[in-house]
Amino acid sequence: MAQTLAPNVFVTVGTTRFDGLFGVLFHSDDPGSPPQCLQLIANRGVKRLRIQYGNSAMPSLDGLHHDQIKSKGADGTLTFVVAGIEIEMYRLKSNIEEDMKWAGLVISHAGSGSILESLQLNKPLIVVVNDTLADNHQAELAFAVENQGHCIATDPRHLAKTLGDFNPSTLRPFVPVSSSLFSGIVNGLMGYVD
């Protein structure tokens, strides 16, 4: 049996559009069943899911078997329940640090800022790479951080399997370094030379 996950999970797609990550969370092969990713994390003990969905398209909630919509704001905020998980969604905030602190698991796009912030807060981290980007330097960074043992990197197609297999105890703690050292590492990975 899979290890129980933390009850609070935060998902961030960043400020741009990442429909692949956002959409896979709400995808169901069977219109009569809850989305696979949501059912999977509910079965692993997740009770609350907070999603920052940026400029991604809001998925249709018509096919979801949500118990009830608790609130829906004109600003794109929405709170509802699916598969026993209370889901709170919003487009953007000026700072997501409090959301990351609140979470026991962060599922993030592969932007360097989000990755670094999660690691500095010592949060278990699953990085989902936007595999539709050309010259995908974010993928290089995500897999480099994974190779160091600090996160698990995946793509939207494999997120459900990753969530099913994820064991946060296998991750190595991130030892904070100066921002200039981190910048140097990122620049080296990207091939930028002084």
Q: What would the pLDDT profile of 95-145 be if each residue is shown by its tens digit?
A: 999 999 999 999 999 999 999 999 999 999 999 999 887 677 888 999 999
**Beta carbons within 10 angstroms of residue 1's beta carbon:** 5
The reported pLDDT for the residue numbered 61 is: 65
pLDDT at 56: 87
* Cα–Cα distance measured from residue 71 to residue 88, given in angstroms and rounded to the nearest whole number: 9
Average pLDDT, the chain: 86
pTM: 0.86
Each residue's pLDDT tens digit, 158-182: 999 999 999 999 999 998 766 666 6
Report whether pLDDT(1) > 60: no
| Alpha carbon separation from 118 to 51, 72, 121 (Å, rounded) | 15, 28, 5
**What pLDDT is recorded for position 51?**
95
Contacts of 176-180 spanning 24+ positions with Cβ under 8 A:
176/119, 176/120
Q: How far apart are CA 126 and CA 118, in angstroms?
A: 10
Q: Domains of the chain by range and CATH?
A: 8-190 (3.40.50.2000)
For residue 82, the model assigns a pLDDT of 86
Distance of CA 7 to the CA centre of its chain: 15
Q: Bridge partners of 50?
A: 10, 88
